[in-house]
Amino acid sequence: MSPILFEDLVPSAATWSHVLKRGTALRITDTEGDANVGALFYNWENPTERYNMPDTLKAQHIARLTRGNVLYSDMGRILCSIIEDSAGWHDPLSGCSNEALVKSKYGEARYQEHRNDCYRNAYDSFVIELAKYGLGARDMVAPVNFFSKVVVDESGAMQFVPGHSTSGGFVELRADMNVLVILNTCQHPLDPNPTYDPRPVTLSVRRVAPPAADDVCRVSRPENGRGFALTERYFL
């Protein structure tokens, strides 16, 4: 494994962003267990191209993400691929918490009284970070919730699975384009835990080889073979 270029500790309910360069990979590690990482992805060169939940699901016939899956943009290209995963299931369906949800579930904790332990929500965290790149509420799309599992039964009912992610669990995303990654560690919006208890994660970035002909993500679906071909054309 190539050396780690840099590492970041992201505290609970905090927001992080970085332009992840093509040919590097971001490893997210659930430090304590029960983490949730909400994440959005944009093509850094043209942010109107961004992660698209429906295109990602229907191209791979999935309602969950794991190793071998890729994250599609709305332009038919692969922003990131999941090259390692110890959790086996990440939730692309459930969206993010907002101010009203956090207030109704956990009550209120303002900065005035609680300083940096004040309650934060994922929607506002995303919008604030998006603004730093000239983006905003109009650019919010459906985020991924890494480390969280929500199953859908035959009637369509959604059920959050508690205790899914354990301490030391990790997922690694290879950047297949130059990707603006925005993530936060707010609690999952369907987490039934009545306590405000978001968890920290550790991030590390390293260089990785480009996807080979037998790459696990490239060969997992014929659609992904075409997705990689179209992504590689973009850089020609």
Partner 1 sequence: MVGTNLPEGTRDPAQASYDEIVPAGEPWIHEIVKGQYFRILDLEGNQAVDTLFYNAGDYADRYSAQDTIRAQANIYLTTGTKLMSSKGNVLLTIVADTCGRHDTLGGACATESNMVRYAIEKRYMHACRQSFVKAIAGWGRGLEKRDITHNINFFMNVPVTPQGTLTFEDGVSAPGKYVEMHAEMDVLAVISNCPQLNNPCNAYNPTPIRVLIWDPIHRTT
Write out the residues near partner 1 by the rule CB under 8 A. Answer: 48, 52-55, 57-59, 61-64, 72, 74-77, 89, 93-96, 98, 100-101, 123, 136-143, 151-159, 189-190, 223, 226-227, 229-230
- Select 24 or 42, whichever has its Cβ closest to partner 1: 42
Closest by Cα among 14, 21, 71, 75 to 47: 75
Give the nearest distance from C-beta 149 to partner 1 in angstroms. 9
43's tokens: 């093509």
d(CA 212, CA 218): 8
User: How many CB atoms lie under 10 A from the CB of residue 224?
Assistant: 24
The answer to whether the CB of 220 falls within 8 A of the CB of 49 is no
d(CA 48, CA 64): 24
User: How many CB atoms lie under 10 A from the CB of residue 163?
Assistant: 8
- Select 205 or 218, whichever has its Cβ closest to partner 1: 218
- Select 2 or 159, whichever has its Cβ closest to partner 1: 159
Closest by Cα among 126, 66, 122 to 92: 66
Query: Residue 147: what residue type?
Result: F
- Select 141 or 219, whichever has its Cβ closest to partner 1: 141
d(CA 97, CA 38): 10
Give the nearest distance from C-beta 221 to partner 1 in angstroms. 9
- Select 69 or 185, whichever has its Cβ closest to partner 1: 69
Angle between helices 53-60 and 222-234 (to 10 degrees): 130
The answer to whether the CB of 200 falls within 8 A of the CB of 9 is yes
- Select 15 or 231, whichever has its Cβ closest to partner 1: 231
38's tokens: 């909400």
d(CA 178, CA 176): 7
